[in-house]
Amino acid sequence: MTLASQIRHAVADALMHLYPEVTVNISAITVNQTKPEFTGDYTVVLFPFLKLLRQKPDAIGKQLGDHLVAATGLFSAYEIVSGFLNLSVKDGFWVAFIKDHFTDVHYGENAGANRRVMAEYSSPNTNKPLHFGHLRNIFLGAAVSEVLKANGNEVIKGNLINDRGIHICKSMIAWQRYADGATPESAGIKGDHLVGDYYVKFNDVYKQEVAALVGQGKDEKTAEKEAPIMLEAQELLRKWEAGDADVRNLWQMMNGWVYKGFDVSYKRLGVSFDKVYYESDTYLLGKKLVESGVDKGVLYKKEDGSVWIDLKEEGLDEKLLLRGDGTSVYMTQDLGTAKLKYDDFHLDQSVYVIADEQNYHMQVLKLILKKLGEPCADGIFHLSYGMVELPTGRMKSREGTVVDADDMVSEMVALSKEQTEQSGKTEGFTAEELAQLYETIGLGALKFYLLRVDPKKKMIFDPKESIDLHGYTATFIQYAHARICSILRRENIALTPDPTQFQSFRQTAELSLLERKIILSLEEYPAILADAANEFNPSSICNYSFQLAQLFNTFYDAHSISKAESEEKKHLRLMIIIMTASVLRHAMKLMGIRLPEKM
């Protein structure tokens, strides 16, 4: 149990003891960190008790303070300031805490959730390379997966690849027409980029053909429908659905190129998946589910054979589930895939990392499954995140305004190289070590940039401004970590020493304010981690890590460690920085961010 909640319980016990005639709900007890301008570590707000106890805040505070000091042994002193009871925790508590935990590499992890969860993320289309928006999705999915694991869940990382449909046929037809047999090898570019180039080519040609038809006197709508390249793409889709061997071969070849390209990107990003689903395998699955829904009377058929669900009672609309010709729509295949995932893994929860433009779709998906009585319905959770926009608005791949993911990574790595060289800190590294370091810094900055904001909020990225390596960044945290490692190297102490290392440590000197504050901050890490899992929000971990690194930097500036005023202080501070580095490493690992020992 964290100290804050220990205090909350202690206050509840104290009130029960002091005022047996009244009952105070534990949720009415507010325990906060004491504001820096006052003396103390934690503060109990006294106002909620005034009416209940019919006493003045000072009187309650005095009784409560005296009782807490005497009964718990946790506190050395208290102070009452205008309705707030500020408690000072005994140095002994902090010292015992740091001695107990400073070598625990799993510190902060919470056991007990014990659920099996699938997190689906990335989920790309196969007609173009990954872009900046995918990066937010991927980093968020990967980070949430790790955070859930650290809280005792079994997590299956899933990826549902949208490998079929008109979009890939567009790339296919443009390739057939204009590529002259070009392959990634012959063209010397990544497969996903090559296929994406033909998707762009398709749209260019399409625009020209529409314009030509309009020039011949057709109206816009008709021209859009009759443009030859569009008709050819649709013909390809029909042939694909019919299983035409040539079309399937072309499709397989081009998707193969894309997967190879994606694999290179994923590898560089440091992300992976445990289970990959392909829509070409799953897109027909929902039909049976829908038909059984008709039998049950949950769904209904119109005269033309199309199947619908009526969600007007739920405040929503009527929704189509099968077309008149019996083919599936997007929702149909998602119903099937949801059931498939559940049947494959017996999931307690199924998390979908999908942008907030699909909020309505996901709400309806869950609702339909519930109405169909499918057990997978309850576990469905839409982790809805805001989209990444440019200052000019949304990214549009057709208009070529997307920020490419591979380019972005390369730019960030180049930037970290430039700034490292500028700072003149490249000595003592081999060429490979430097290349590794630039990846660590560049990718770290990128991941942190995308993870540090609340997922729910949309974010605007200006490609003209490069992502900063100063201030609230991964670089800042990496730098604090490297500084700690530098001290430990000098002192010949391992990053994670043997737990017996400072066993004989005895505290006699009073802790400094910064020593207390940094230990207090370390003590709160498990609560932060639990909260991040409950909220599916990694940004709180970024926030916490930055604050901890910042606190360390202040600490580092104010206190010498190697040349501390006494051997006792030196040992205490070593334990503090060992644990600080360890917690930072743990937290950033969950974010997929590595911390270098030297930079």
Partner RNA sequence: GGCCCGGUAGCUCAGCUGGAUAGAGCACCAGCCUUCUAAGCUGGGGGUCAUUGGUUCGAAUCCAAUCCGGGUCACCA
Select the residue interacting with RNA from 166, 187, 253, 435 (CB under 7 A). 166
Residue 112 as a binder of RNA (CB under 7 A): the answer is: no
Q: Which of residues 517-536 bind RNA (CB under 7 A)?
A: none
Q: 384: Cβ–Cβ under 8 A, 6 or more apart, which residues?
A: 354, 355, 356, 358, 359, 362, 455, 456
Residue 566 as a binder of RNA (CB under 7 A): the answer is: no
Pick the piece of the chain touching RNA (CB under 7 A) from 148-156, 173-181, 259-267, 419-427. 419-427
Nearer to RNA, 261 or 444 (CB): 444
Select the residue interacting with RNA from 323, 370, 398, 516 (CB under 7 A). 323
What's the start-to-end Cα distance of the chain, in Å?
37
DSSP assigned state of 564: -
89: region left, alpha or beta (phi > 0 left; psi from -120 to 50 alpha)? beta
- The C-alpha atoms of residue 488 and residue 595 are separated, in whole angstroms, by 15
Judge residue 543's burial from the number of C-beta atoms within 10 Å of its C-beta, 0-12 exposed, 13-18 middle, 19 or more buried: middle
Residue 306 as a binder of RNA (CB under 7 A): the answer is: yes
- The C-alpha atoms of residue 53 and residue 19 are separated, in whole angstroms, by 8
Tokens of 384: 């809805």
Pick the piece of the chain touching RNA (CB under 7 A) from 12-20, 95-103, 172-180, 468-476. 468-476
Select the residue interacting with RNA from 102, 202, 479, 502 (CB under 7 A). 479
Tokens of 257: 């190129």
**Number of residues that this document lists for the chain:** 599
Residue 330 as a binder of RNA (CB under 7 A): the answer is: yes
Residue type, 475: T
The CA–CA distances, whole Å, from 157 to 15, 146, 205, 289 equal: 47, 10, 39, 25
Pick the piece of the chain touching RNA (CB under 7 A) from 77-85, 130-138, 193-201, 249-257. 77-85
- The C-alpha atoms of residue 438 and residue 422 are separated, in whole angstroms, by 13
Residue 82 as a binder of RNA (CB under 7 A): the answer is: yes
Select the residue interacting with RNA from 274, 360, 433, 463 (CB under 7 A). 360
Select the residue interacting with RNA from 282, 420, 501, 582 (CB under 7 A). 420
Helix (H, G, I), strand (E, B) or coil at 189: coil
Interface with RNA (CB under 7 A), residue total: 87
Q: Which of residues 199-258 bind RNA (CB under 7 A)?
A: none
Residue 182 as a binder of RNA (CB under 7 A): the answer is: no
Residue 472 as a binder of RNA (CB under 7 A): the answer is: yes
Q: Which of residues 20-49 bind RNA (CB under 7 A)?
A: 27, 30, 32, 34-35, 37-38, 40, 43, 45, 47-48
Residue 474: which of 552, 580, 576, 545 has the closest Cα? Answer: 545
Select the residue interacting with RNA from 9, 116, 207, 361 (CB under 7 A). 361
Select the residue interacting with RNA from 395, 561, 581, 588 (CB under 7 A). 561
Residue 295 as a binder of RNA (CB under 7 A): the answer is: no
Select the residue interacting with RNA from 352, 409, 556, 595 (CB under 7 A). 556
Closest approach, Cβ 500 to RNA, in A, equals 23
Q: Rounded to 5 degrees, what are φ and ψ at 103?
A: -110, 10
